[in-house]
Amino acid sequence: MGSYPPPPYPPPPGPPYGGDWKYQRRVLKEQARAQRDMARAQRDAYRYQARSLRRSSILGPLLLITIGILFLLVQTGRVAAHSLWDWYARFWPILLVGAGVIMLLEWAYDQYMQSDDTQPQYRRRLGGGVFALLLILGITGIVFSSVRNGNGHGYMLNGLNLNQDNIDEFLGDKHESDQVLSQSFPANSGFTVDNPRGDISISGTSDDNQIHISVHKQVYTRSDSDADSKAQKLSPTLTSTGDSLVLSIPAIDGTRADLTISLPATAPLVVTANHGDVHVSALKAPLQVTANHGNIELTGITGPVITHVNNSDSDLSAHSVSGPLTIQGRGHDTTLSDLSGPVTMSGDFFGTTHFERIRGPIKFHTSRTDLQFARLDGEIDISHSDITASEAVGPLTLTAGNRNVTLERIAGDVSVTNRNGSVDLTSAPPLGNVTVENRNGSVNLTLPEQSNFAYQLDATNGDIESDFSEIQIPDGGLQKKTISGTAGKGGPLLHISTSQGDISLKKGSIMPLPPLPPMPKITAMPLPPLSPMMPPEARQAIQDAKQEAREATREAKQEAEEAKREAKQQTDEAKREAKQAADEAKREAKQAADEAKRDAKQQ
């Protein structure tokens, strides 16, 4: 029997294969398989062509660049982290609006470029990574907005907020208990306290040579037996180490211990709080405080004080401190008042810094600002956009960037270096050497009447104005104006230089600073110990009231800053309008004089 080729060749006519139904079925299957392969090849080719016509949206790179720039500004201290998050909590929907606008512009551009029907029609695609990033940013905005609007105490945000107390409350019920212990305090001994989680309140009001400790324990768990076990383990221990008495609290997950301590006022004190606020008052000995995640409040301290603040959201306040005060680290708002000794402050502080009535010299150093002066009879406010000071005694040295600087009634030598902002200085008698170097901003200097001084004024792309007749102003039209000389009998040197701004010297009736007043005696009120019988509701009400008071103080400071900025803007606008009116009057007067000269020549 002869052999035949395999399919897809057709079988020979007649038997034995021409009528074989199995062979016919095989042929049909082979044809169907060939058609499927051809359809798959066509589909792959279409997909490849469609993929080649896709273009990625520019939205992803723009988002990454914007986020990177914002984080860079925060890391370099140009923008405060809390201000950035507050702004984002308010305006985060702008992110979605901006993304939609970018995608709409891309669609319009593609439609314009593909108006020719002969050209292939491509389309934009938004990758899954960009979509996930937008989703994360949107959820983050919702969370921050809820916290900012006061809804952060809700059940959902307890799990989303990174506050350890909220996490504990989410994981279990709160069980509270109190413990009180007293012990004789060794003579000539110091005291050291280390609390991993909880507030620490210490007052030097013990008059019986004993140390009194009240512990308010909070345990978060869903088991009563577990709560009792953890509360027993949370008991403080007192040990003597060399010449110091050491109080330590064990670190137990899901627990918190608030300490209220009364000890002899002459005991040197070292306090370390990892998660919690520190309050110290009425102490007549050296003090060292470290707060990693909490606020520091000091009142009525007569010895030297060293503080370390290690959280950009923590506040520090010190009042009625007579010894040297050193502040280091990273913090938010800082308030210092009624201090007698020298003050040294270094690190990064992202909120508002307020100084008031400081008798000793001050050194303030951050990544953006350097400020030094000898004494402060008035007050100083340092914020992100402005630096204002009043009634300070030099030598005052200030280096600031991108700020508006206002110095009122500053006596003695003054040196200011600034950029991208105005400098307004009022010098109080006795007049000292004044050096102001400003870039991209005006300089306004007000001096006492009948002042005697030497001057050197340099203005690039700006004008020079003076109320002192001895100062001869060069004619206009010069790109750089430089004048020097003496006014009256000469004396201190005024060296003022600026670019892209004007220099103005004005006369004013300025009184000298009054004699140094006596230091007010402030009696620090001791913190009352927590009573073991105090109901938990009352204790919680006290804590809520303290938190509300802190929030109200912060909001008041923010409103004051906004009011100052608005007043500054209105003043600047009024100055600009007055300058424009004066320039217009000068031009009209010059035109009238020129016309009069022409008429005289024609006659």
466 shares its domain with 369: yes
pLDDT in tens, 391-400: 999 899 999 8
pLDDT, greater one: 421 or 87: 421
pLDDT of residue 74: 73
d(CA 261, CA 245): 13
pLDDT at 158 over 50: no
CB atoms within 10 A of CB 579: 15
pLDDT of residue 88: 78
pLDDT of residue 210: 92
DSSP character string of 30-47: HHHHHHHHHHHHHHHHHH
Among 224-233, 487-496, 530-539, name the one with the lowest average pLDDT.
Answer: 530-539
pLDDT of residue 529: 44
Is 432 within a domain?
yes
User: Rounded to 10 degrees, what is the CA torsion of 80, 84, 90, 91?
Assistant: 140
pLDDT, greater one: 286 or 10: 286
560 shares its domain with 414: no
Is 292 within a domain?
yes
pLDDT-derived band at 69, boundaries 50, 70, 90: confident
Instruction: Choose one of 328, 351, 380: the last residue of a domain.
Output: 328
Burial class from Cβ neighbours inside 10 Å (0-12, 13-18, 19+) for residue 62 reads middle
Is 8 within a domain?
no
Query: pTM of the entire structure?
Result: 0.64
pLDDT of residue 66: 84
Mean pLDDT of 541-547: 57
What percent of the chain has pLDDT above 90? 35
d(CA 70, CA 88): 11
Mean pLDDT of 561-577: 63
136 shares its domain with 198: no
d(CA 438, CA 461): 13
pLDDT of residue 31: 79
Residue 132 tokens read as 């996930």
Mean pLDDT of 56-63: 78
CB 345 within 8 A of CB 327: yes
pLDDT of residue 77: 62
pLDDT of residue 155: 36
459 shares its domain with 554: no
Residue 544 tokens read as 């809520």
CB atoms within 10 A of CB 422: 23
412 shares its domain with 506: yes
Is 459 within a domain?
yes
d(CA 527, CA 431): 46
pLDDT, greater one: 70 or 377: 377
pLDDT-derived band at 540, boundaries 50, 70, 90: low
The 10 Å CB-count burial string (b at 16+, else e) for 328-367 is ebbbbbbbbbbbbbbbbbebebbbbbbbbbbbbbbebebe
pLDDT at 244 over 80: yes
pLDDT of residue 533: 43
Mean pLDDT of 190-218: 93
Instruction: Choose one of 488, 518, 548: the last residue of a domain.
Output: 518
430 shares its domain with 567: no
Q: How many domains does the chain have?
A: 4
Among 107-111, 352-356, 412-416, name the one with the lowest average pLDDT.
Answer: 107-111
pLDDT-derived band at 118, boundaries 50, 70, 90: low
149 shares its domain with 175: no
425 shares its domain with 484: yes
pLDDT of residue 546: 58
pLDDT, greater one: 286 or 88: 286
Is 98 within a domain?
yes
pLDDT of residue 578: 60
The torsion angles phi and psi of 64, rounded to 5 degrees, stand at: -65, -40
Q: Which domain holds residue 576?
A: 539-596
Is 344 within a domain?
no
CB 522 within 8 A of CB 338: yes
pLDDT-derived band at 100, boundaries 50, 70, 90: confident
pLDDT of residue 160: 40
Is 23 within a domain?
no
| Average pLDDT of the residues of the chain | 79
Mean pLDDT of 434-441: 90
pLDDT-derived band at 524, boundaries 50, 70, 90: very low
pLDDT-derived band at 543, boundaries 50, 70, 90: low
Do you know the residue count of the chain? 603
pLDDT, greater one: 456 or 13: 456
64 shares its domain with 101: yes
278 shares its domain with 214: yes
d(CA 510, CA 431): 11
- Identify the CA nearest to 274 among candidates 300, 310, 326, 228: 310
118 shares its domain with 96: yes
175 shares its domain with 63: no
Is 526 within a domain?
no
pLDDT of residue 434: 94
pLDDT of residue 523: 47
pLDDT in tens, 334-389: 999 999 999 999 998 888 999 999 999 999 999 889 999 999 999 999 988 899 99
